[in-house]
Amino acid sequence: MPDDRPIAGPARGVSPAAASTTPGGRPVAGTVQGAPRAAVQATPVERPIADTVHGVPPVAVSTTTTLVNRTGSWKYIRPVYQDKVAPCNQGCPVGIDIEGYMNLLREGRTQEAIELLLRENPLPAVTGRVCYHPCEDGCNRRGFDDAVAIHAVERVLGDLALASPLPPPAPRTWPETVAVVGSGPAGLACAYHLARLGYGVTVYESELEPGGVLRYGIPEYRLPKQVLARELERIRALGVSFRCGVQVGGELPWSALAEHHAVFLATGVHRSRPLGVPGEELPGVRAGLDLLSEVNHGLRPELGRCVVVVGGGNTAMDCARTAVRLGAEVTVLYRRSRAEMPANEEEVFEALREGVHFEFLAAPVEVMGEERRPEEEALEAIRASFDEEDARRSALRLAGLRCTRMALGEPDASGRRRPVPIPGSEFLVPADTVLCAVGEEADADALPEGLPRDGGAVAVDALGSTGLPTFFAGGDLVDQPHTVAYAIGSGKRAALGIDRWLRIRAGELGDGTDLAELRYGPAGNVSMTRWRGDDPVQRVAPLNEVVTPERINTDHFRHAERHADRQHPLEQALGGFDEVNQGLAPEEALAESRRCFNCGVCNACELCLIFCHDIAIRRRGDGRFEIDYEYCKGCGVCSAECPRGAMAMTREGL
């Protein structure tokens, strides 16, 4: 305190005696900035308090450093930093380190976030649009306010990746080459990862352009062709070659692939299951997949005014929304109730928004053709012979679909309640076109002989091996949900499986792979980063355990509204095949990344350091923390306060 302050002198001391012995402004030993703590710790020095009066300091403060009291000996449990797995990572069928890229994005390290994403997912701009984001189902933020809009963030990062320069060709590390049959999401994923692992890859595609279901199945209003084209450019840039317009097992026999050291089969499922009712052979009854393919090829078929879509899955929704865009009034017929619908909730919502009518608990009984007078038919036949357009129109002449009401009975093998027809409840739904979307199956004839089967699906092990030498399989061919994300995930697993198999065969690798260690959590997909062993994210004592909501300390988070995707206005959406979902702006994605709890992974928030009563936690040079167990009393506050479950209390060793 400066001497010119009138009360400085006497005021600083407590009694007149103190004032005379302690001149104002003289620093007191207790506040002298000492050497760094480590030095003090080595030789605890007794530094008495200078203004001792009556033999005591002004307050009840220890006259010596408390470092002599090694309180660490008190503890019987000790805190440790222990990174875990975020539920989103486990929930992602692709096996993306979602938590990791959220954290990088939050820190403003956008390019690194994109790279982390691209380590696992070759098609982020695609999945950001079309994946039904099971990752968000497990989001621990759900119980706090609302799940992080992971899909929207992925889309933004995916689009940023598309705007980035193309990668250089992947260095060719190994002599082997791999054939990938089918260029849908599974094939593309397998090709991408194999190329990055250092293999030569050729993709065979029977259509004229690659993409499979991404190009010919998913409607343009959900996935613009341009986005797919740019994703494909990146895969091509890695050195993957494409041979399109070639039907393997058709004009090109399977034996032609013998030049390759492994084959990945990902030809998908194309054959629509039949309705199984009389009249389904009538013109005007069509496979939903065929319609989607036609429209994706740029055709705009005439469907008539009334369209009935039979089925309740995502293909049914795609068909219904496509038919709406072709000008039809659409009814979806589903034999169970809305709760049992396998279609994604958002798709159903969009279909409803676009005016699709739903008949739940209703099943087709018979497709009714229109009875026409003979002279009318003759006239039409003459017309048709002159005019193809008229011929197509005449084929539409259905009267409708005779249906029956259903009731839900006992649960079936799938656990869903089996629909049972209600006798005498039949009714007629008028229809010019009936679109059949009750499921698809693989075309067994097109696959190599001798593949082991599991029901209709190709049987594979966890890493995609069919057991038939050199043959691996994935995508919709194998028994897993028919979604883009699962397809990509299976392609990645197979790439990993092929790499492992080839390296074992070359005698460069033992076969002791612990698959559990490669998974994100016990139930998650494998991580290519873990397989490669080059995780750019520093992890401390990682435990492959998923962080449960109870491990999140929500006291340290503020409620923040989830950013909803921006949707095209309805009239604009229905005017054509423009993309309906406009996603988020980059700054909104950044805000979403700030909503992420970063479950299970230390993001250096410092709360442990702030809450430690014993100042026994220190920040290390690398930005992480260390605990001084000489002084940590094992109180557990750090671990309890950790907002994200990245710490744990362990038993103190004896």
Partner 1 sequence: MKKVIVGNHAVSWGVQLARAEVISAYPITPQTQIVEELSEMCADGRLPARFIKVESEHSAMAACIGASVAGVRTFTATSSQGLLLMHEMLHYAAGGRLPVVMADINRAVAPGWNIWTDQNDSLSQRDTGWIQLYCENNQEVLDTTVQSFKLAEAVDLPVMLVLDAFYLSHTSEPVDIPDQADVDTFLPKREARLKLDVNDPRAFGALSPPDMYMELRLRQQEAMEQALEVFDAVEAEWGERFGRRYGAIEPYRTEDAEIVLVTSGTVTSTARYVVDERRARGEKVGLVKIKMFRPFPTARLRRALAGIPRVAVLDRNLSPGRSGIFAEELRAALYDLEPARRPGLDGYVIGLGGRDVTPDTIGECLDRSRAALAAGRAPEREDLWVGVKP
Q: 128, exposed or middle or buried, with CB in 10 Å at 0-12, 13-18, 19+? A: buried
- Give the C-alpha separation, 171 to 464, whole Å: 24
Q: Which part of the chain contacts partner 1 (CB under 8 A), choosing from 3-11, 165-173, 187-195, 412-420?
A: 3-11
Query: What is the closest distance, in whole angstroms, from the C-beta atom of residue 59 to partner 1 in the complex?
Result: 4
Measured CA to CA in angstroms, residue 595 lies from 9, 97, 562, 589 at distances of 54, 16, 8, 10
Q: Which part of the chain contacts partner 1 (CB under 8 A), choosing from 13-21, 115-123, 330-338, 488-496?
A: 13-21
CA 366 centroid distance within chain: 41
For every residue of 525-542, which 3-state class applies, written as one string? CECHHHHHCCCCCCCCCC
Choose among 216, 200, 205: nearest CA to 262.
Answer: 200
Binding residues with partner 1: total (CB under 8 A): 41
Q: Per rule CB under 8 A, is residue 59 in the interface with partner 1?
A: yes
**Of 3, 11, 175, 559, which one interacts with partner 1 (CB under 8 A)?**
11
- Give the C-alpha separation, 94 to 146, whole Å: 22
**Residue 344 near residue 317 (C-beta atoms within 8 A):** yes
Q: Which part of the chain contacts partner 1 (CB under 8 A), choosing from 61-69, 321-329, 360-368, 545-553?
A: 61-69
Residues facing 287 on adjacent strands: 436
- Return the number of the residue (7 or 413) whose C-beta is nearest partner 1: 7
Q: Per rule CB under 8 A, is residue 30 in the interface with partner 1?
A: yes
Query: What is the closest distance, in whole angstroms, from the C-beta atom of residue 598 to partner 1 in the complex?
Result: 25
**Residue 333 near residue 403 (C-beta atoms within 8 A):** yes
Angle at CA of residue 533, ends 531 and 539, nearest 5°: 115
- Return the number of the residue (566 or 613) whose C-beta is nearest partner 1: 613
Q: Per rule CB under 8 A, is residue 229 in the interface with partner 1?
A: no
Query: What is the closest distance, in whole angstroms, from the C-beta atom of residue 347 to partner 1 in the complex?
Result: 44
- Return the number of the residue (59 or 413) whose C-beta is nearest partner 1: 59
CA 626 centroid distance within chain: 33
**Of 3, 42, 48, 64, which one interacts with partner 1 (CB under 8 A)?**
64
Q: Per rule CB under 8 A, is residue 62 in the interface with partner 1?
A: yes
Torsion of CA 330, 335, 338, 341, to 10 degrees: -90
Q: Per rule CB under 8 A, is residue 75 in the interface with partner 1?
A: no
**Of 43, 46, 55, 339, which one interacts with partner 1 (CB under 8 A)?**
55
Q: Per rule CB under 8 A, is residue 65 in the interface with partner 1?
A: yes
- Return the number of the residue (66 or 226) whose C-beta is nearest partner 1: 66
Choose among 356, 370, 374, 348: nearest CA to 428.
Answer: 370
Q: Per rule CB under 8 A, is residue 568 in the interface with partner 1?
A: no
Query: What is the closest distance, in whole angstroms, from the C-beta atom of residue 39 to partner 1 in the complex?
Result: 9
Q: Per rule CB under 8 A, is residue 293 in the interface with partner 1?
A: no
Choose among 598, 545, 524, 546: nearest CA to 92.
Answer: 524
Q: Which part of the chain contacts partner 1 (CB under 8 A), choosing from 23-31, 279-287, 508-516, 578-586?
A: 23-31
Measured CA to CA in angstroms, residue 106 lies from 120, 557, 588, 593 at distances of 20, 15, 11, 5
Q: Per rule CB under 8 A, is residue 31 in the interface with partner 1?
A: yes
Measured CA to CA in angstroms, residue 395 lies from 319, 370, 385, 433, 541 at distances of 19, 11, 13, 9, 67
Q: Per rule CB under 8 A, is residue 615 in the interface with partner 1?
A: yes
Residues counted in the chain: 654
Kind and range of the H or E element at 54?
A: none
- Return the number of the residue (31 or 255) whose C-beta is nearest partner 1: 31
CA neighbours closer than 13 Å in the CB half-sphere of residue 601? 22
Sequence-separated (6 or more) residues with CB below 8 Å from residue 535: 529
Residue 331, both tokens: 């009814």
Q: Per rule CB under 8 A, is residue 609 in the interface with partner 1?
A: no
Query: What is the closest distance, in whole angstroms, from the C-beta atom of residue 547 to partner 1 in the complex?
Result: 27
CA neighbours closer than 13 Å in the CB half-sphere of residue 290? 12
Query: What is the closest distance, in whole angstroms, from the C-beta atom of residue 140 to partner 1 in the complex?
Result: 25
Q: Per rule CB under 8 A, is residue 67 in the interface with partner 1?
A: yes
Query: What is the closest distance, in whole angstroms, from the C-beta atom of residue 209 to partner 1 in the complex?
Result: 58
- Return the number of the residue (74 or 427) whose C-beta is nearest partner 1: 74
Query: What is the closest distance, in whole angstroms, from the C-beta atom of residue 170 to partner 1 in the complex?
Result: 50
Query: What is the closest distance, in whole angstroms, from the C-beta atom of residue 70 to partner 1 in the complex?
Result: 12
Q: Which part of the chain contacts partner 1 (CB under 8 A), choosing from 32-40, 185-193, 387-395, 444-452?
A: 32-40
Query: What is the closest distance, in whole angstroms, from the C-beta atom of residue 474 to partner 1 in the complex?
Result: 54
Q: Which part of the chain contacts partner 1 (CB under 8 A), choosing from 46-54, 177-185, 194-202, 373-381?
A: 46-54
**Of 20, 43, 61, 239, which one interacts with partner 1 (CB under 8 A)?**
61
- Return the number of the residue (12 or 325) whose C-beta is nearest partner 1: 12
CA 292 centroid distance within chain: 25
Query: What is the closest distance, in whole angstroms, from the C-beta atom of residue 515 to partner 1 in the complex?
Result: 47
- Return the number of the residue (20 or 66) whose C-beta is nearest partner 1: 66
Q: Which part of the chain contacts partner 1 (CB under 8 A), choosing from 44-52, 388-396, 537-545, 579-587?
A: 44-52
DSSP one-letter code for 13: S
**Residue 643 near residue 558 (C-beta atoms within 8 A):** no
Q: Per rule CB under 8 A, is residue 585 in the interface with partner 1?
A: no
- Return the number of the residue (9 or 134) whose C-beta is nearest partner 1: 9
Residue 587, both tokens: 């700054």
Helices (H), 307-451: 314-325, 345-353, 374-386, 388-394
- Return the number of the residue (58 or 549) whose C-beta is nearest partner 1: 58
Count other C-beta atoms under 10 Å from residue 423's C-beta.
Answer: 8
Q: Per rule CB under 8 A, is residue 382 in the interface with partner 1?
A: no
Torsion of CA 435, 328, 323, 401, to 10 degrees: -10
Residues lying near partner 1 in the complex (CB under 8 A): 1-2, 5-7, 10-12, 14-15, 18, 27-28, 30-37, 40, 47, 49, 51, 53-67, 615
